[in-house]
Amino acid sequence: MQLMTPSPAPRTRGAAPHVAVVGAGIVGAAIAWSLARRGAHVTVLERADAAATGSTGRSAAGLRHQFSLRANVRFSRFSAERFAAFAAEVGTDAGFRRVGYLFLVPPCQEARWAEDRAMQRAEGVRVEHWSLADLARRAPYVAGDGLAEASFGPDDGVLDPHAATLGYLAAARALGAAVRFGSAVVGLRPRAGGWRVATAAGELAVDHVVNAAGPQAGAVAALAGARLPVVASRRDVFVTAPVAGLPLPTPLVVDVATGVWWRSEGERLLLGRSNPAEAPGLWHAAGFSGHGVQHAPATGAAVAERVLTGGDAGFDLRPFDPARFAHAAPANTAEARVV
Ligand SMILES: Cc1cc2nc3c(=O)[nH]c(=O)nc-3n(C[C@H](O)[C@H](O)[C@H](O)COP(=O)(O)OP(=O)(O)OC[C@H]3O[C@@H](n4cnc5c(N)ncnc54)[C@H](O)[C@@H]3O)c2cc1C
C-alpha cells in the first residue's frame, strides 16, 4: 500500500480565525489539531468533564477499508496511514494495530461483495476473498454454516480511541488551542462575521463554529436554527471472561447477515450489535421518491402485517430497512420506505 502523506499544513494568512469546536470526542479532537496546526485560534467546548466520554470511548474502535462507497474507502486509506504514523505526526501512540476485519458474507450478498472488492482494490487496498475452505483453515474458530464466503482486509485494524483523542487534544493545546470542559453549548446566535456561543460556563464570540457533537449534533445544529437529521441510536456491547484457545489477536469479525460483530480485547472477547429492540412501536413509512402513489397498496399491506404480526406480507422488506444507512451508500436514500 502506497503511503499518502498529509498536506503540509499551510498556515492561515492574516489574522487567525477563531474557531469553536463543539465536542471533545475523536472527531472534534482531530479537527481541533488539524485547525491548530494550520494556525487557527481554536477553542474546544465539551459539556463533559473529560474527553472521549461519548461514543468515542464506547466504540469497538475498528478501522476498515471494506466499504461500498468509494469516498469511505479513501477516507479510511488516508486515516489508516495517519494512525500508523500518529507517533511521528501527533506525538503519541494511537495504538493502531492491523489485525484485519473478517466479514462473513451470506449467499444473497456474494455478488455485491465481489464488486466492492474490485473497487477497493482499484483504490489500492489489499482485500482477500476467502472461500469456505480458506475460512476453515485460516479462522477455524468461525463456523461457515449459511455463509457463501468471507472477505478479509489485512490493512484493516483497531486503535485505542482514548489515546488518539487525548493525543490530538494534547498536540492541539501545544499549538495554543484551549480545551474547556464543563462547557455545554446551550446557544448559538449569529453576529457580524461570526457567531456568539453561549455555554454553561459563559459566552464567547468566534468566527466559525464546528459542530462535532456526535449523536447530539442534531441538537447542537438546532441551537442555530439549522436542521441536521442526526439521531442517537443505542448499541449493545458485551465483554466475555477470558476465552482460552483463540489465536490472539483475532480480526474484527462481522456477520454481514445480522450485523453481529466481535473481536479480541486482550484475552477477552468484545462483541455487539445494534439493539434490534430500539424504538419499539415506532414505524416509518416514508421516503418514496416518485413512486409513493403507485406503491401505497403494497406499503399498506406490508406495514399492517409488520405492525400487527412482525411479518412481511410476502415482500422482501430488507432493502428498505432504515438501518441500512449505517452501511450503505447515500445513493440508496431515495429508496427509504418502511421499517
Ligand atoms: C458500540 C459502538 C461501536 C462502534 N464501533 C466503531 C468502530 O468499530 N469503528 C468506528 O470508526 N466507529 C465506531 N463506532 C462509532 C464511533 O464511536 C463514532 O462514530 C465516533 O466516536 C464519533 O465521534 P465524535 O467525536 O463525533 O462523537 P462523540 O465521541 O460522541 O463526541 C461528541 C462529544 O460532544 C459532546 N457534546 C454533545 N453535545 C454537546 C454540547 N451541547 N456542548 C458541548 N459538548 C457537547 C459530547 O459530550 C461528546 O463528548 C462505534 C460506536 C458504538 C456506540
CA 136 / ligand 1 centre spacing (Å): 36
Q: Rounded distance, CA 200 to CA 193, Å?
A: 23
Whole-model pTM: value is 0.85
Residue closest by Cα to atom 2 of ligand 1: 59
Q: Is 212 in the pocket of ligand 1 (CB under 6 A)?
A: yes
How many Cα neighbours within 13 Å face the side chain of 124? Answer: 11
Note the pLDDT tens digit of each residue in 84-120. 999 999 999 999 999 999 999 999 999 999 999 999 9
Nearest to 211 by CA among 203, 222, 200: 222
Note the pLDDT tens digit of each residue in 25-47. 999 999 999 999 999 999 999 99
pLDDT for res 225:
94
Nearest to 99 by CA among 74, 63, 59: 63
Burial class (CB in 10 A: 0-12, 13-18, 19+), 133: exposed
Q: Which atom of ligand 1 is nearest to the CA of 45?
A: 43
CA 293 / ligand 1 centre spacing (Å): 39
- Pick 108 or 12 by higher pLDDT: 108
Q: Which atom of ligand 1 is nearest to the CA of 62?
A: 8
pLDDT at 263 over 60: yes
CATH code that applies to domain 18-61+161-223: 3.50.50.60
- Whole-number average pLDDT of the chain: 88
Q: Which atom of ligand 1 is nearest to the CA of 186?
A: 41
pLDDT at 335 over 60: no
Nearest to 160 by CA among 270, 60, 32: 60
CA 172 / ligand 1 centre spacing (Å): 19
pLDDT at 158 over 90: yes
Q: Is 48 in the pocket of ligand 1 (CB under 6 A)?
A: yes
CA 21 / ligand 1 centre spacing (Å): 14
Was domain 98-157+233-274 assigned CATH 3.30.420.40?
no
Q: Is 253 in the pocket of ligand 1 (CB under 6 A)?
A: no
Q: Which atom of ligand 1 is nearest to the CA of 158?
A: 8
Mean predicted confidence (pLDDT) in 74-89: 95
pLDDT at 275 over 80: no
Q: Rounded distance, CA 219 to CA 289, Å?
A: 27
DSSP state of 239: E
DSSP state of 216: G
Where helices occur in the chain by DSSP H, the ranges are 26-37, 55-58, 70-84, 86-89, 110-122, 132-138, 161-174, 217-223, 296-309
Where helices occur in 139-206 by DSSP H, the ranges are 161-174
CA 214 / ligand 1 centre spacing (Å): 5
CA 1 / ligand 1 centre spacing (Å): 29
* Range 1-10 contact pairs with CB under 8 angstroms and sequence separation of 24 or more: 1/77, 1/81, 1/124, 1/125, 1/126, 1/155, 2/124, 3/81, 4/77, 4/78, 4/81, 6/78, 6/82, 6/89, 9/37, 9/38, 10/38
Q: Rounded distance, CA 132 to CA 317, Å?
A: 28
Residue closest by Cα to atom 50 of ligand 1: 59
In order of 43, 151, 174, the CA distances from 183 in angstroms are 11, 44, 21
pLDDT for res 336:
31
Q: Is 214 in the pocket of ligand 1 (CB under 6 A)?
A: yes
pLDDT at 338 over 80: no
Note the pLDDT tens digit of each residue in 116-150. 999 999 999 999 999 999 999 999 999 999 999 99
CA 233 / ligand 1 centre spacing (Å): 11
Please report, for the chain, the start and end positions of each structural domain, with discontinuous segments joined by +: 18-61+161-223, 98-157+233-274, 289-335
Mean predicted confidence (pLDDT) in 54-83: 94
